[in-house]
Amino acid sequence: MRTPRSRTRRRVTALTLLLTAALAAPALPAAGAAPDGARTSARSEPGPGTDHAVDDPFTSGRTSWFRQDRFGMFIHFGAYSNLEGEYTRPDGTVCRNAEWIQRECQIPKDAYEKQAATFDPADFDAKAVVGAAKDAGMKYIVITSKHHDGYAMWPTKVNSWNLRDHSAFDKRRDILAELKKEADDAGIKLGFYYSIWDWHDPDFPDPATFPRYEKRMYAQLKELVDAYDPALLWFDGEWDTENPHNPWTARDGERLESYLRDLDPELIVNNRVGKRRVVDGDYGTPEQEIPDGPVDGQLWESCMTLNGHWGYARYDQNWKSSTTLVRNLLATTSRSGNYLLNVGPDARGRIPEPSVDRLAEMGSWLRADGQGEAVYGARYGGLVEEPSWGAVSRKGDKLYAAVTQWPEPGGALQLKARTAFEVKSARVLGSGQKVEVAKTADGYALTPSGEATNPTGTVVELTVDPGPTAPEGSGKGFRQEVFDNAELAGEPKVTRVDADVNHAWKYAGSPHPDIASDDFGVRWTGTLEPRRTETYTLATVSDDRARVWIDGELVIDAWDPHGPRVDKAQVDLKAGTRHKVRIDYAEQSGEAHMKLLWSSPGQEQQVVPRAQLHDS
């Protein structure tokens, strides 16, 4: 497992940014760009023995704030905001769009640059923005530092297409620095959205010149990390597309992610750093939708607009209600996801009042009667099926049933159990009413004695005994045999104990420096010691091939060559028992990934930890 270079997080001022950037922009680490910028296949990259997996995002200290905070503010703000969603063409026709307005309205480059030169967000008030986030109960902010139009919202030294050098804005100001200060003062994390796809940089579309753009992109990202110390980078614009052509590849994503991990080992990165797959970055990014349950193999965050646009559009008054927004937040939390809710400031930098009002209403709900307990630090209910009348999240020995359809007087809320557990007590947050708890054939019936406390959602807090969980094991890991062929034939070249099956060898890496990056195999054997007696879901994240046997039975057969993919099996495991395990893995060519995760009604999803793996 690669140990990232330790790095004291430096809080540097914009001055350092200016000095740092005044020096030559840093070369691409392990750069592959040929001197003339032409793209080469033989890039000098990390080689055999490299493993890009740095930790388990489901349990690492690095991602704990992200898994705790649950609720963030997205801000789409850029040169496009100056048009406020509308462009009148020279022929008098009006075209409408928000952050895609340059392309969707075919605004000529010089016309777009000319309008950007009048951009003056003088009323951008970082204190008010952070205040609105705080009032909403949001715990982190992600602001567009550069969207597809390539316009940088900070005083980058990489080019002059930015808010400092190409606008009517006060040249003494730096809105990202202002936001960083206010966010730090308010205890809110700050992250940056950064679009890989760049409509403005002339070197972007052509694969032959793309390395020159890539070098500038790395330099800008280093500026952002060095000058503002972001907690998170939210990449976008990674997809295959034309107009303009996007040369970005999964392999480019591998290298960028590796660079960023070295730049700041604490950084959280989304899966659009690569190709929006389960093996890219730390978390998945469903957009304008909420997955119907926990996502296999990756953390996740759903991003959504408050109306119908990301960037400001003056005519779009189609605002979601705060009830809908709170219920979206409850749904994401109850499925172990985060909710990133967007605001689009106008040309002057002001967040629209209807946005501010709805955010404040969300915050009121979260603060009322401790209802926020159902969100912050909470996760997938697990012990019960998701009910039709609301959402159930879990935090330790508490289940929070957020009821959006309160039963008729005397009616009961049915909960279907996924495992044996006890309800020790129940109470309605914000009410002294009694809640009768009755066991049913398949779970529990909760019968409240009074009214709902809140039409948006009323939270019933259950104190539960989740049933016996054995102490942590004393395992050191599975026995691992590494073969120099994908058939796992002959004698293993390497035999050792592997702490956990959590590997991202990607394109250039392999399990050992003596093993080539392609055409290798791995076999793990030993015993698996569950801590609960339950039906577990085992999941592999593999590329190219994988098979898993438990107690001699083949439970996952993913031996068909495939790209990064999740395969799952339900297996009954008994606490304290050491279940025999064999895992075969083969890498033929291209990317190589292999992780083994588990979850159960009482065990949240994680890479199977070392303590539960034995080498015999």
By CB under 6 A, name the binding residues for ligand FHN. Answer: 99-100, 236, 287, 303, 310
Q: Which is nearer to ligand FHN, 303 or 550 (CB)?
A: 303
CB of 355 to ligand FHN, least distance (A): 16
d(CA 375, CA 491): 52
- Sign, CA dihedral 436-439-441-444, equals positive
Q: Which is nearer to ligand FHN, 149 or 461 (CB)?
A: 149
CB of 100 to ligand FHN, least distance (A): 6
Q: Which is nearer to ligand FHN, 144 or 393 (CB)?
A: 144
CB of 301 to ligand FHN, least distance (A): 10
Residue appearing with tokens 């966010």: 183
Q: Which is nearer to ligand FHN, 318 or 495 (CB)?
A: 318
CB of 490 to ligand FHN, least distance (A): 47
CB of 99 to ligand FHN, least distance (A): 5
Q: Which is nearer to ligand FHN, 310 or 421 (CB)?
A: 310
d(CA 19, CA 12): 11
List alpha helices for 204-278, DSSP H.
210-228, 250-263
CB of 122 to ligand FHN, least distance (A): 24
d(CA 411, CA 435): 11
Give the pairing type, strands 189-195 and 232-236.
parallel
CB of 74 to ligand FHN, least distance (A): 7
Q: Which is nearer to ligand FHN, 271 or 322 (CB)?
A: 271
Q: Which is nearer to ligand FHN, 255 or 309 (CB)?
A: 309
d(CA 462, CA 402): 11
Give DSSP secondary structure letters for 453-496. Answer: S-SS-EEEEEEEE----PPP-----EEEEEESSTT--SS-SEEE
Q: Which is nearer to ligand FHN, 100 or 259 (CB)?
A: 100
3-state secondary structure of 104: helix
CB of 287 to ligand FHN, least distance (A): 5
d(CA 3, CA 6): 8
- Number of CB atoms found within 10 A of residue 569's CB: 16
Q: Which is nearer to ligand FHN, 79 or 539 (CB)?
A: 79
Element (H, E) at 175: helix 175-186
CB of 349 to ligand FHN, least distance (A): 18
Establish how many alpha carbons lie within 13 A of residue 168's alpha carbon, considering only the half-sphere containing its beta carbon. 14
- Sign, CA dihedral 89-94-97-103, equals negative
3-state helix vs strand vs coil in the chain, percent to 5: 20, 30, 50
Q: What is the DSSP letter of 387?
A: P
